[in-house]
Structures are given as structure tokens and as C-alpha cells.
Amino acid sequence: MNKSFTNKKLIVLLISVILFFALLAVSLNRNGSVNIFQQIMNDVTAVAGRVVSKPANALTNVFESVNHLLDTYEENQRLKQEIDSVYEIQAELSVTKEQNEALKEELELQNSLTDYSTITGAVIARNPDSWVEEVIVDRGSQDGVELGMSVMSGQGLIGRISEVNPTSSKVRLISTMDQRNNLVSSEIITEEGDVVHGVISAYEAETGRLIMNQITTNVTLEPGQQVVTSGLSGKTPRSLLIGTVDEVTMDNFGLSQRVYVVPAGDFNDIRYVSIIDRHAESEE
């Protein structure tokens, strides 16, 4: 039965192969803006996704509360110890904030790199594929979400908006290290006040740590220091927590330091996200 390919079949096959590569190329280079047809499709699907994810979330919450009840006592002990240090830090913080406001007024600064507002959203679905870690949230361009905004969940930065539709958007997590467009510009502020800049450019899946590269400095970095965003890239404001330093080594060529960062956000259990809208204008 399979004697030889007829001409028609061959032509159809060839055209589909060409179309396949064309589609692939177009969607890889398009960098986030989709045409209106796709946006409508994504939104309609997102509506269905929302309907299903709300009961699923509620169910997970119930299970989690039951779990929490079981370790309440230990958590209580631990939290009591942490509260004492919090009071101190709060007092320091309010004094510093006041000073900051006064100085800003003096210099007549409008919007600095740290000003931002948040848009909170809920997660509706996640890419089941997991080749590219993406999470779909239920806020879109109508709520003010724009391409490239940073997204935080839990206590830390988890990703960046990679696609925007009218009522839903896709967040690409920083655990997908796409060398072309998923780098995070970061900094570490040591106790002495030195600011060390670097770029978070890779993710080590086995240990779950981010890798910060391109640190050309003589300052010694130690485990436990906090890594935050530096605000020097377009859309991310300054001082969003990324994680804490775990290990400091030299890179392959011995020219710069390489820091392994334990992320503060949880990449596996993401349910509610805050999308960060920076107030300062950027040059793009």
C-alpha cells in the first residue's frame, strides 16, 4: 500500500514543513506582543481556566490549613523569637523613611528607582510542559499590566511578564534561563555599605539556586547577604528581594566572582502574584 509518495502528498508535506519553521521563527522573535486573534483566544481560554482554578485553589487551601494545624506549636515558638527583632527593624525603618522623604523633597526628585505600585493577581494555570516555565495570571492590559514588568510571589522575585492579553498574561519564571531575554540585573549591599552589581543569568536545577555572574569587584561576599534587584534595567524597580547568598566562588576563567543565590520566592507553589509597576520612566 505504501508504494510511493504521490506528488500531491509531497507538496503538502513540504509546504507544512516550511509553514512549521516559519511559525516557529515568527513566534520566537516576536518577543511578547501577540496579534489580536491570539489575544482573544487566550482570553477566552483564560476565562475557562479561571472557572476551574478557583475551586482547585480553595481545595488546596483546605488541605494546607489542615497541615498547618498540625505544626502550629513549633511555628508559634519560632515566630515568637522572630517578632522581637521585627520591632527593632520597624523603628529603624520608619526613621529612615522619614529622612528619605525629607531628602527627596529637598532635591525635588519626582520618581526614584524605588517607587512602584503593585497589581495583585491570581494564578490560573501553569505550562504543563515545563520546558519553558510559565505561569498564567488573570491580570491583563486592561488592569495596567505591561510587557517586561517584574512579578513577585511569596517573598521574592519570581519572574517577568512575557506576554500580555487584555485580561490575562503570561509570567516567565526566572528559573527558565533563556539567555536572550530572561536576565535579572541585581546587586548586593554589604554591611559596610558597598554595593556590588551583577547579573542573574542561570538557574541550577539540581540544587534550586540562581547563579549571579559578572561580578567584578574585590569586595568579599559572604553567605547570608541579601540579593536585590538593582533597578538599572528597564522595567524593574530597585530593591525587590531576589534571594540570599549561599556560596561564593570564582567563575570558570577566574576573572570574576560567581555567587549562588537561594531564591526567596517559591517557584513550585505559586498561587497569588504581585505585578510590579515601576513609576520612573525609562529610556525605552
Partner 1 sequence: MIQWKRTLIPLLTLFCLFIFDGTFAFVFRNQLAGDNYLMVPRLLFIGLLYFSFRLPKNQAMYLAMLYGFLYDSYYTGILGIYLAFFALIVYTVFYLKKFVYINLGTMGMIGIVMLTLLETLVYLVYQGIDLTQVTWSGFFAARLGPTLLLNGIFYVLLYFPLKKITDNAMEEAKMI
Q: Which residue's CB is nearer to partner 1, number 123 or number 240?
A: 123
Measure the CA–CA gap between 24 and 29, rounded to whole angstroms: 9
Cα–Cα distance measured from residue 215 to residue 187, given in angstroms and rounded to the nearest whole number: 9
Residue 161 CA to residue 134 CA, distance in Å, equals 9
Closest distance to partner 1 from the beta carbon of 108 (Å): 43
> Smallest distance from the beta carbon of 78 to partner 1, in angstroms?
22
By CB under 8 A, name the one of 126, 141, 190, 197 that touches partner 1: 126
Decide if residue 141 touches partner 1 (CB under 8 A): no
Q: Nine-digit cell at 251?
A: 567563575
- Nearest one of 178, 201, 205 to 256, comparing CA atoms: 201
d(CA 202, CA 241): 17
Q: What sign for the dihedral angle of Cα 233, 234, 237, 240? A: negative
- Cβ nearer to partner 1, comparing 11 with 48: 48
DSSP lists the bridge partners of residue 185 as 199
- The answer to the question of residue 4 lying near partner 1 (CB under 8 A) is no
Site for partner 1 in 24-83 (CB under 8 A): 24, 26-28, 34, 38, 41-42, 45-46, 48-49, 52-53, 56-57, 59-60
Among residues 116, 121, 123, 161, which is the contact residue for partner 1, using CB under 8 A? 123
Decide if residue 16 touches partner 1 (CB under 8 A).
Answer: yes
> Is the Cβ of residue 173 or residue 196 nearer to partner 1 in the bound state?
173
Residue type, 161: I
Residues 86 and 98: their CA atoms lie apart, in Å, by 18
Q: CA-to-CA distance for 260 and 227, rounded, in angstroms?
A: 10
Looking at 14-22, 112-120, 191-199, 251-259, which segment touches partner 1 (CB under 8 A)?
A: 14-22
Can residue 14 be called a binding residue for partner 1 (CB under 8 A)?
Answer: no
Cβ-based neighbour number of residue 50 at 10 Å: 16
Does 124 contact partner 1 by CB under 8 A?
A: yes
Which lies closer to partner 1 via its Cβ, residue 50 or residue 197?
A: 50
Give residue 231's Cα distance to chain centre.
Answer: 14
**Residues binding partner 1 (CB under 8 A):** 16, 19-24, 26-28, 34, 38, 41-42, 45-46, 48-49, 52-53, 56-57, 59-60, 123-132, 134-136, 162-163, 170, 176, 178-179, 206, 268-270
